[in-house]
Structure 1
Amino acid sequence: MEALLVPKQIPVWQDRRAIALLMAASLTTMANATIAPALPELERLFADDPNAALLTRLLVPAPSLSVAILAPLAGIAADRIGRRRLLLFGVILFVLSGSAGLVLPDLPTIFASRLVLGVAVALIMTAQTALVGDYFSGDDRNALTGLQISARNLGGLVFILAAGWVATLSPRLPFAIYGLAAAFLPLMWLVIVDLPRLSPAGANLAGPNDEQRGWRLLLALLVLLQGATNMIFFVMPTQLSFFLDAQGYDSAIMTGSALGVLMLSGGGFALLYQRIQRAVGYAGIFALGYGAMALGFLVLLLAATTPAIFTAVAAIGAGYALVSPSFVALALNLAPRRKRGLAGGILTASIFIGQFCSPLISTPLIAGHGYASLFGGTAMALAVMTIAAMLAGGANRLRRR
C-alpha cells in the first residue's frame, strides 16, 4: 500500500513536497544549458587551447556523461539508503561544482568540473524521480510529471535569459547562476522525508505494478525512445548558438532569447499535459509532440528572419514538453515501488546519454554537410516517429473494439 500520498482535496501544486521536487526538477535545465549563450566567447577566451572548439561544445553536455554512467548506481543507492540523503547531497554538490567555472584557469579543468556537476545531477534526478513515485499516485502523479517539465522549462527560461545577459559582460559569469540552487536547500531539508522501507512480505502488497510481468522490457523500450528524443532535442542548446553566430546574429543575446522562447513554450505546454493526455492518450501525445518538433526543425531549416527562428524553437520546445512527461509517468507506472530508484536512475541515464551523444553526432554532420542537412534530417526522423505513434494509437483503438 502506498504511504504518504497527497490527500485528494489538496491540489498537487500546493503540496510542499511537490514544490520542493519541482525546485529540484528546475536544476536539470540549469545544469546543462545555462552556459550555452557563453560558448562562442568561451571558445575565443581560451583560443590558445588547440582543442578549444571541441571542448567548448562539450561543456554543455559534459554533465551528461557522468549522469549516464552513475545514474543507475545512484538509483540502486536510492533504493538502499534512501532518497533524502541523495537529494540533499546532490544539491550541495551542484552548487559547488556548477559555480567552479568562475575561477578555474583553463578549459580542461572547467570540463572536469562539469563532469562533477553531472554526479550531482545524477543524485538529484534519480532521487527526485523516485520521490515522485513514492509521494504521489494516479492523476496527482500525472499532473506532477507535467509540472516537472514546466518547472524545468520556466526555470530554464529565467536561468538562460540571465545567462545570455551576463555573458555579454563576461563569458565566466553564467557559472555564478549555479549558486542560486543553494536557495532551494532549506525547503528540501524541511519537507523531504523517506518512506518506511518495505519488508520482503510487505513488498508483495506495494501495488499492482509489483505483479506486472514484463515491466523490464517495456522500461527498456521507454529508455531507448527517451534517449533518442533527448539526443534530437539537445541540438538546440549545443548547436543553436553556433548556428546563430554563423547567421550573423549577436550570438550571446540571440541564443539566450531563442532558448528563452524554447523554455517558455515548453513550460506553457507542459502545464496542459495532463488535460491533453487524458483527451488523446499516450500514443496521441507522442504523435502531437513529435509532430510539433518535426515542424520546428523544418521551419528552422527554412528560417531567414528572427520571428521565424523564434517560431521554430517554440514548436520544438512545445513538442518536447508534451512527450517528456509521458516517459516518467509510464516508467513509474511500470516499476514496482521497491525498484523505483533503479528505474529512475536508468531513465535519468537515458536522458543524458542522448544529450552527450548529440554534439558528437551533430558536429561532424554540420562540418561535412552544413546545418541544412542536420535540420532536414532531424525533421525527417521526427516525422517517422510521428507516424509510428499514430499507427500505434490506431492499433490500440482497434484492439479495444
Structure 2
Amino acid sequence: MQNKTYEELLFYFTENKVFKASLFSIAATTVLGATIIAPSLPALQNHFLHIGHSVEILSKLILTIPALFMMLFSPIAGFMYEKFKKLNIIFISLFIWSLAGIAGFFLNNIYYILFSRSILGISAAFLMTGIGVLLADYYTGIRREKALALQGFFMAFGGGIFLILGGYLADLDWRYPFLVYFLGILILIFAFFQLFEPIKHTHNNHTKTLHPPFNFTKFLPVYIMAIFCMTCFYIAPTQLPFFMTQDLGIKQSNIGKCMAAASVAMALGSLLYPRVRKLFNIYEIFFIAFSIFGIGFACISLLHDFKSILIGFGLIGVGIGLITVNNNAWLFSLAYEYERPRAYGFLASSLFMGQFISPLLTQIFVHYIGMVKMVGVFSLMILGSGFLFLLFSLKNGGKIER
C-alpha cells in the first residue's frame, strides 16, 4: 500500500506543468552553456588576435572545452548519483555553472576564459547526468518517452530563444552573451521549490549479489551513435559562423537566427518523437532522422544564400532532435534501474566527447579541402549512416528492444 501511495503521488506531482518546467529548465542549461556564445566567436577571435595564429583554435575551444570536461566528469557524476542525494548535487552544480558562465564577461585573458569554461563543463556534466537519472526515476514506460520528448523540446526551444538573444548581444559586444548565464540562478530558485528527491529502491544484500556487473558493451552502439551525431552537429556552431561571416558576409545577428532555427526545429523534432515512435522502430527512426540531418548539411554545402542556409539549419535541427530522443529512449530500454546512473553518465560523456572532438576533427578537413567540401563530405557520411540503419531494420525484420 505504501508503494502504491508513493506511485500515485509520484504520478500526481510529476505530471504538474510547473514541476516539468522546473525540471526541464535545468536540462536546457546544458545546451545553453555550450551554444549561447557561438554567435560572438568571430568577434572574440578578433579581440584576441594579438596572441597569434593559435587564436583560431583557442577561440573555438572556448565553445567546446566545456564538452571535454563534461566528457571526463560525466561517468564520475554517474557514480556519485548512485551514492548521494541527487538534488543536492544538482543544486550545487547549477550554482557553480552560473558563476563560471558569468565569469567570461569580466575576464580579458583568453586562457582565464578557457579555465572558467572548464569549470562550467564540470558542473554541466553533473547537471546533465543528474537530470537524465531524475527523469528515469520520475517516469516509466510511455510516460518516459513523452518526458524525453519534452526534455528535448525544452532544451532546443529554450536554446533557440537565447541564441537569438546571444546573436543580438554579440552585435553589441562579444562579452554580453556571457551575462545570459545569470539565468541559472533564477532556474535554481525556481527548481528548489518544485523538485523533490525520488525514493531510492533498496535491496537486501542477497538481492544485490544477484545484480550482474555493469555491462558497458551492451550500451556501446548507443554511445558510438552519440559521439558521431554530436561530432556532426557541432559543425554548425563551431565552423559555420566563420563561413557565414567571412565568406558570405552574413551579420552575427543572422548567425544567431540560423542557430535559433536549428534549435526551434530540434524542439519540434523532439516533440514529434512519441508520434513517430508509434509508427516506426528505433532503426527506422534513425534512418528517417539521418536522412533529414544529411539533407540539411547538403543545403548548406550546395546553396550559399541566407534563406537556403536557414532552411539547412532547420533540417539539421529536426534530424538531431529525433536522433537525440531516439538514442536516449534506446539507452533506457536497455538499462535496468540499477544501471541507469552509470549508463546515462557514459552517454553524457559520449555526447560531450563528440562536441569536443568536432572542431579538432573538422578543422583538419577544412585545412585540406576547404569549408564547403568539408560540409559536403559530412553530409554524405550522415546520409550513408542512415542507409545502414535501414539495412539493419530490414535484416532484423523491424524487431528491436523497446
2:172 match: secondary structure:
coil
Q: How far does residue 109 in structure 1 lie from its aligned partner after superposition? A: 0.4
Q: How far does residue 181 in structure 1 lie from its aligned partner after superposition? A: 1.6
Say whether 1:59 aligns with 2:62.
yes
2:20 corresponding residue in structure 1? 18
CA gap 1:29/1:255 in 2 versus in 1, 3 angstroms: same
1:253 corresponding residue in structure 2? 253
Alignment of 1:337-348 (within 5 A): 337-348=337-348
Which amino acid counterpart does residue 187 of structure 1 have in structure 2?
F
CA gap 1:146/1:4 in 2 versus in 1, 3 angstroms: farther
Structure 1: how far apart are the matches of 2:10 and 2:133? 20
Structure 1: how far apart are the matches of 2:183 and 2:205? 41
Counterpart contact for 2:281–2:399, Cα < 8 Å: no
Counterpart contact for 1:157–1:259, Cα < 8 Å: yes
Which amino acid counterpart does residue 288 of structure 1 have in structure 2?
I
Structure 2: how far apart are the matches of 1:329 and 1:2? 26
Q: How far does residue 3 in structure 1 lie from its aligned partner after superposition? A: 9.0
Q: How far does residue 371 in structure 1 lie from its aligned partner after superposition? A: 1.4
Stretches of structure 1 that go unaligned for 5 or more consecutive residues are: none
1:195 corresponding residue in structure 2? 198
Which amino acid counterpart does residue 21 of structure 1 have in structure 2?
L
Say whether 1:73 aligns with 2:64.
no
1:45 corresponding residue in structure 2? 47
Alignment of 1:137-176 (within 5 A): 137-176=140-179
Structure 1: how far apart are the matches of 2:264 and 2:218? 32
1:96 corresponding residue in structure 2? 99
Q: How far does residue 202 in structure 1 lie from its aligned partner after superposition? A: 8.6
Once the two structures are superposed, what CA deviation does each residue of 1:238-280 show, in whole Å capped at 9, x if it has no partner? 1111010122323411210110111111111211111001111
44-53 or 112-121, larger mean C-alpha shift: 44-53
Structure 2: how far apart are the matches of 1:399 and 1:11? 35
CA gap 1:134/1:305 in 2 versus in 1, 3 angstroms: same
Q: Among 71, 89, 95, which residue is 1:86 paired with?
A: 89
Q: How far does residue 212 in structure 1 lie from its aligned partner after superposition? A: 9.1
Structure 1: how far apart are the matches of 2:49 and 2:191? 41
Structure 2: how far apart are the matches of 1:163 and 1:120? 21
CA gap 1:70/1:398 in 2 versus in 1, 3 angstroms: closer
Structure 2: how far apart are the matches of 1:39 and 1:190? 36
Counterpart contact for 1:12–1:143, Cα < 8 Å: no
Structure 2: how far apart are the matches of 1:222 and 1:2? 33
Structure 1: how far apart are the matches of 2:95 and 2:367? 39
Counterpart contact for 1:203–1:338, Cα < 8 Å: no
CA gap 1:64/1:295 in 2 versus in 1, 3 angstroms: same
Structure 2: how far apart are the matches of 1:306 and 1:329? 35
Stretches of structure 2 that go unaligned for 5 or more consecutive residues are: none
Q: How far does residue 333 in structure 1 lie from its aligned partner after superposition? A: 2.5
> What TM-score results when the alignment is normalised by the length of structure 1?
0.93
Structure 2: how far apart are the matches of 1:80 and 1:325? 27
Once the two structures are superposed, what CA deviation does each residue of 1:277-307 show, in whole Å capped at 9, x if it has no partner? 1111211111111010111111111112111
369-378 or 248-257, larger mean C-alpha shift: 248-257
CA gap 1:9/1:100 in 2 versus in 1, 3 angstroms: closer
Count of aligned positions: 396
Which amino acid counterpart does residue 179 of structure 1 have in structure 2?
F
Alignment of 1:311-322 (within 5 A): 311-322=311-322
Q: How far does residue 112 in structure 1 lie from its aligned partner after superposition? A: 0.7
Counterpart contact for 1:99–1:177, Cα < 8 Å: yes
Which amino acid counterpart does residue 340 of structure 2 have in structure 1?
R
